[in-house]
Amino acid sequence: MSIVFHPEAQEFHLFNDQVSCVLEVMANGHIGNLYYGKRIADVPSFAYLHEDRDRPLTAINAPWPSAFSLNYLRQDYPAFGTTDYRYPAYKIRRENGSEIMDFKYVSHSISAGKPSMAPLPATYVEHDSAADSLAIELFDAVTATRLILHYTMFADLPVLARHTEFIQEGEESLCLEQAMSLNLDLPDADYEWVHLYGAWARERHIRVSPLAEGLQSIYSMRGTSSAEHNPFIALKRPAADETSGEVIAASLVYSGNFLGQVEVSTDRETRLQLGIHPNNFRWNLAKGNSFVTPEAVLVYSDQGLGGMSHAFHDLWNNYLVRGEYKNTPRPILLNNWEATFMNFTEADILRIASKAAEAGAELFVLDDGWFGKRDDDFAGLGDWKVNLKKLPNGIKGLSEKVEAMGMKFGLWIEPEMVNEDSDLFREHPDYVLTDPERFASPSRHQYILDFSRKEVVDNIHAQVSAVIRDAKISYIKWDMNRYLSEVYSRGTDAGQQGEVLHRYILGVYDLYDRLTTEFPDILFESCSSGGARFDPGLLYYAPQAWCSDDTDAAERMRIQYGTSLVYPNSSIGAHVSAVPNDQVGRTTPLQTRANVAFFGAFGYELDLNHLPADEFAAVKEQIVFYKEWREVCQFGTFHRLINPFGGNDMAWISVAKDQKRAILGYYQILGLPNPRLLRVYPRGLCQDAVYEVRNQASGAVLRLPGSVIEHAGLPIDRDLLRELGGDFASLLLTFTEVD
C-alpha cells in the first residue's frame, strides 16, 4: 500500500517513489496538511511540522489557553468563519442563514485501486495495483451532514487525484454554495504561477507571473472551460525551467465554469484552490441529497515544467482516455470545412474526397451544412436529418462511396445548439436555455439547448444516433460554437436554478456517454469554436480535440506549444490549411504548415484539387512521411526545446518511449539579416546509443552518440533556412538508432 495511517499520531502518509503527501487529524477534528512535495521517508510521526502559536488579532478555535488558530494552520479542506479568514474550500448556508460548519473526523478507509466517479468523468485504473485510494469521513453533528474527502495516489506517476463528496443525512435543507475540488496549503510563497490564457484563434498562450500577497485567479463563467483560461495552474520555483526545479500543478477534470486561484497570506503562505466557480452555483442538499465535486489532479515535478508535462501526458493517455483509441495512432484526415464551408453538393464532396484518397488520407470528414435547411448560420441546428437536396443519397450513400475509395468517413455535429429557424425550435421553444420574459442573446444566430433536462438530451440522442446507426461513420467531430448566456431552465424549479449550469455539463457528459457506449468504434473529436472547451473532462470521452480554429502555422506554434504544457500531442487536432490563411491572412510555406501539424493528430483543411502539381506531390510525400513517424509524433515523450513566446525561434522534439527514434521540429518566425549562429539541444535520447540524424530538407546525415547530440548540440543551417524562404522556414530532423 502507498497509503499509511499512523493511529497514534493520527496521520496519513500518501506516497510513491516520486511524491509524498502527509495529512493529520488536528486537535479540533479537522484535516490538516503537514507536507506535500518530493517523496520523503515514512516516520512514526510528522507532528513537528504542525506549527501554531498565539498571535495578535487571532481567534482561537479551542478552549483557552490553547494557541490553536486555523488562520495560521495548513488545512486540507478549510471553512471560513471558524478562525480562518482566508478563502474557504466550501460554503454551506443553513435554513437559519448561518454559514458555520464544523466537520470533524469520524473514520477512514484505505483501498487498492480507484473507485468510479460516474456520471462524472475521471481518471481510472484497470488494475488495483496501479493506485491506492483513501476516503476520510467527517461529520457535522449540528446539521447531520457527512463530508468525505477522496484521494488516489497513482503508483507510477507523481499524481494525487482529489475530489469531495457532501451527503445530507439530517432533516434540515442546506444550500451548498461553494465546493472546490482541491485545496492545497503550502508553507511559503516562493513561487511563480503559470497558467494558460487566450481567446478565439489564440488559445492557451503561456503566462508566468510572480506571486504576490493577496489573491490571483483565473476562471470561466462562460458555461464552458473556455478559450480565455484553461482549468490548470502551476506553481514553479523562480529558478525552475523546462528541465529542473520544483513545480506543483493542478488540473480540473471538468468542462464547465471553474475557478482557479492562488492566495498568498501576509505571512507568505500559499493556498491553491481549483474547482467549480461558485458564482451562479447553488446545490440543494435536502435530506438524502448529495453532491460530488469534479476530480482535480495534483502533479509534482522536481524536473521542471518538462517533468510536469510528462506526468500529465502519461496520466491522460494511460488513465483518462478510454476505448479503441487509447494509445492508438490517430488517422490522417481531410476535412472539407475550409474548402467549401456550407456551400457544397454531393459531387463537390466526392471530388474532394477522391483527391484526398489519392493523396493517401485515411479519413474524410464532412463538416457543417449537411442537415436540415443548413445553407448558412441562420437555420438548421437542432434538425439532425440529412439535407437530401445537397446529398440525395443521404449520409449512408455518401459514407459508402467514401469507404469505397479506401477511406473511413466522419461527420460534424453541434448537438447542444438550435437555430430559431428549425423544426425543433418551433416544436419546443421551451428547450432553449433562456428566461422567457427576457431577451435571449443569440451568438452565431444560435441558442443553447437546455441539456440540464433529460428529455432534451433524449431528443438529441434519438436524432443523432439514428443518423450514425444508418451510415458507415468512423469519426464524429462534436462542435460547440458559443458561450452560455441568460441561463434559466424552464424545466427546473425556482429553488434549483443554481444547479442548472452544472446539470448542463452533466447532460453533455450523458450524451457523450450514451454515444460512445453505443458506438465504441467511433473516434470522437471535441471542438468548441476550436479550443474553447479543451479540457480533461472531454478527453475522457473524446481522445482528441480540435486545438484551434486558427490553422496559421506561425500562430499554431504558440498555441500547440502552450497546449503541450498539459495535454499530449495525441489529443491535439492539427491540420494543414490553404493560404493565405483564413484566420490571419498570412502565407506560410506548405512544408512549415505540415512540420507544425505533424506534432499532433494530423490532417488537412483544404481542397487538394486546388493545389498545383508540385504541392500536391508534396502532400503525398508528407502523408507517407507522417505514416512512418506518426506514432513517435503522437505518443513519444515530448520535450519543448526553444520557447516561441517573445522570440524568433521555436523547437521541440518527440522521442519514442524506447528511445530508438525521435523527430525534432525547428521553426524560424522571420528571416533575419546576418543572423547569429544557433544550436538546438535535443533531449530525451539514449546517451550511449548512436543515432543517424537526417535533415529532411537537405538530406544531410550525421551519425552521433546521444550524449554528443544532447550536450554539444546541433547547429541550425541558416543558409538552408534562407533557401527555404526565410520567413516561416522550418526544418525536421529525424533520429534513428543504429548499431
The tens digit of pLDDT for each residue in 306-356 reads 999 999 999 999 999 999 999 999 999 999 999 999 999 999 999 999 999
Helices (H), 239-345: 304-319, 337-340
Q: Domain containing 108 — which CATH number? A: 2.70.98.60
Q: Is residue 264 part of a domain?
A: yes
Q: Which amino acid is at 160?
A: L
Residue 479 is a catalytic residue: yes
| Residue 210: partners with Cβ closer than 8 Å, 6 or more residues away | 192, 193, 238
Co-location of 310 and 346 in the same domain: no
Q: How confident is the model at residue 65 (pLDDT cuts 50, 70, 90)?
A: low
Contact between 113 and 131 (Cβ < 8 Å)? yes
Does the pLDDT at position 133 exceed 80? yes
Q: How far is CA 486 from the centre of its chain?
A: 26
Residues 429-487: pLDDT tens digits? 999 999 999 999 999 999 999 999 999 999 999 999 999 999 999 999 999 999 999 99
**Across 177-181, average pLDDT:** 98
Q: How confident is the model at residue 59 (pLDDT cuts 50, 70, 90)?
A: confident
Q: Domain containing 701 — which CATH number? A: 2.60.40.1180
Cα 550 to Cα 127: distance, rounded to the nearest angstrom: 40
The torsion angles phi and psi of 20, rounded to 5 degrees, stand at -130, 150
**Across 531-547, average pLDDT:** 98
**Across 274-293, average pLDDT:** 97
Burial class (CB in 10 A: 0-12, 13-18, 19+), 397: middle
Co-location of 311 and 375 in the same domain: no
Residues 596-613: pLDDT tens digits? 999 999 999 999 999 999
Co-location of 626 and 672 in the same domain: no
Q: Is residue 394 part of a domain?
A: yes
Q: Is residue 114 part of a domain?
A: yes
Co-location of 261 and 382 in the same domain: no
Boundary-marking domain end, from 604, 631, 658: 631
Cα 538 to Cα 305: distance, rounded to the nearest angstrom: 24
Number of folded domains that form the chain: 3
Residues 8-54: pLDDT tens digits? 999 999 999 999 999 999 999 999 999 999 999 999 999 999 988 77
Co-location of 230 and 113 in the same domain: yes
Alpha-carbon dihedral 683, 689, 690, 693, rounded to 10 degrees: -30
> How far, in Å, are 145, 174, 499, 692, 724 from residue 95 at the CA level?
14, 6, 18, 72, 71
Co-location of 230 and 268 in the same domain: yes
The one catalytic residue among 185, 302, 367, 549: 549
Cα 425 to Cα 207: distance, rounded to the nearest angstrom: 42
- Looking at per-residue pLDDT, the higher value among 677 and 291 belongs to 291
Co-location of 173 and 269 in the same domain: yes
Q: Give me Rg for the CA atoms of the chain.
A: 27
Contact between 275 and 281 (Cβ < 8 Å)? no
Co-location of 574 and 678 in the same domain: no
Q: Is residue 95 part of a domain?
A: yes
The overall average pLDDT reported for the chain is 97
247: domain range?
A: 68-319
The torsion angles phi and psi of 435, rounded to 5 degrees, stand at -80, 120
Co-location of 292 and 364 in the same domain: no
Q: Is residue 234 part of a domain?
A: yes
Boundary-marking domain end, from 577, 605, 631: 631
Does the pLDDT at position 64 exceed 80? no
pLDDT at 58 (0 to 100) = 79
The one catalytic residue among 52, 140, 185, 479: 479
Co-location of 159 and 259 in the same domain: yes
Residues 183-242: pLDDT tens digits? 999 999 999 999 999 999 999 999 999 999 999 999 999 999 999 999 999 999 999 999
Model pTM score: 0.98
Strands 523-526, 475-478: parallel, antiparallel or unpaired by DSSP? parallel
Cα 648 to Cα 579: distance, rounded to the nearest angstrom: 21
Residues 343-385: pLDDT tens digits? 999 999 999 999 999 999 999 999 999 999 999 999 999 999 9
Cα of first residue to Cα of last residue in the chain, in angstroms, is 42
Indicate the DSSP class of residue 475: E
Cα 431 to Cα 424: distance, rounded to the nearest angstrom: 9
Co-location of 617 and 471 in the same domain: yes
Co-location of 137 and 184 in the same domain: yes
Q: Is residue 637 part of a domain?
A: no
Does the pLDDT at position 55 exceed 90? no
pLDDT at 12 (0 to 100) = 98
Q: Is residue 586 part of a domain?
A: yes
Boundary-marking domain end, from 319, 348, 367: 319
Cα 544 to Cα 601: distance, rounded to the nearest angstrom: 8
Cα 704 to Cα 8: distance, rounded to the nearest angstrom: 58
Q: Domain containing 547 — which CATH number? A: 3.20.20.70
Question: Cell numbers of 317, please?
Answer: 493517455
Q: Is residue 438 part of a domain?
A: no
